[in-house]
Structure 1
Amino acid sequence: MSTAKIIFNKVNKLLEWFLIVIFALLVLDVLFQVFSRYFLGTSFTWTEEFARFSLIWMTILGAAYLNAKREHLSMDFLYQKFSTANKRRVSILIEVFIFLFALVVMVIGGLNLVYTTLHLEQLSGTLRIPLGYVYAIMPFSGLLIMCFSIYHISNIYSSKTNN
């Protein structure tokens, strides 16, 4: 097994476990909120904000994870009609577009968002944490998606040379 494949698998496994932890914390947070509201007769304000931030992180990291597994939503009716050579070309083109989207929107746009919110010292309403830390997941996930796209392109090229 190649070094790239080993690193790819380890990053995926780490990402998978991190997503599981985030989801578990989200479930515990919501259960605690329901318990405190109906059994303790009080509502903790931080639980709603924590749930929102957990959902943001889980969604954005989940997109990177699905991109790595190549299990993101796609309509492949037309793609299935292509010859093997055209499928490779289209697959590379798709990965290039994914790479560019991740670079421009997620990394550059995300870093701009993080910088702006940290520079303006914006804090979350209840937890009082800098919003830049919450938004930092955007450029991080964008970098992961870019790395996964490069990995997929290299696999497409290597399968072309092996056939």
Structure 2
Amino acid sequence: MYTLINKIIEGLLVAIFGLLVIDVVWQVISRYIVGQSSSFTEEFARFSLIWLTVLGAAYINGQQEGHLAMDFLLSKLPEAKRKGRQKVIQISMALFALVVMVIGGGNLVYTTLRLGQTSSALHLPLGYVYAIVPLSGLIIIFFSWYNIKKLNK
């Protein structure tokens, strides 16, 4: 399950980044070669960056060695204490993801969809843009659970 979720997220991140590159190249071509800039490209780029950042953070959480960490003191501890501290860190990350991203982000999505807020150029409901926050929170919780399970072995 862990590998499947990683592959799906990797594919999504590559696709979003590819679309972002195409969008920005089109913006440059339409502005400087055609002489008339497209109205949707700036907004699409902004939404793509939101998705890349939040989904990328969830992906990096699953890659234990890939994220920035200050682990100098942690690496100096004996193995048993290090595993205990790592469990506390994973639990803290899961709680943060639950409270801030899943509950808070879910509330944001619900509120913006209920109010009917849409983006100005794409006319896309903003709740769909913000939906990546609770989704990424659930992914972080899954990866934290997986990492704790891996530490118990």
Tell me the TM-score normalised to structure 2 length: 0.98
Aligned to 1:3: none
Q: Which runs of 4+ in 1 moved over 2 A?
A: none
Counterpart amino acid of residue 67 in structure 1: N
The alpha-carbon deviation at position 125 of structure 1 amounts to 1.2
Per-residue deviation, residues 3-38 of structure 1 (Å, max 9, x unmatched): xxxx10011011101100000000000000000000
The alpha-carbon deviation at position 102 of structure 1 amounts to 0.4
Matched, 1:13 2:1: no
Aligned to 1:48: 42
Counterpart Cα distance in 2 of 1:83 and 1:125: 55
Q: Residue 106 of structure 1 aligns to a residue in which SS?
A: helix
Counterpart Cα distance in 2 of 1:101 and 1:34: 39
Counterpart Cα distance in 2 of 1:90 and 1:52: 37
The alpha-carbon deviation at position 45 of structure 1 amounts to 1.2
The alpha-carbon deviation at position 72 of structure 1 amounts to 1.9
Question: Structure 2, unaligned stretches of length 5 or more?
Answer: none
Aligned to 1:128: 123
Aligned residues: 152
Counterpart amino acid of residue 17 in structure 1: G
Question: Structure 1, unaligned stretches of length 5 or more?
Answer: 1-6, 159-163
Counterpart Cα distance in 2 of 1:14 and 1:119: 30
Matched, 1:78 2:73: yes
Aligned to 2:103: 108
Aligned to 2:147: 152
Counterpart amino acid of residue 26 in structure 2: F
The alpha-carbon deviation at position 84 of structure 1 amounts to 0.3
Q: 1:99 aligns with which of 94, 103, 123?
A: 94
Q: Residue 78 of structure 1 aligns to a residue in which SS?
A: helix
Q: CA RMSD in A?
A: 0.6
Counterpart Cα distance in 1 of 2:76 and 2:150: 21
* Segment drifting more, 69-78 vs 96-105: 69-78
Matched, 1:141 2:136: yes
The alpha-carbon deviation at position 112 of structure 1 amounts to 0.4
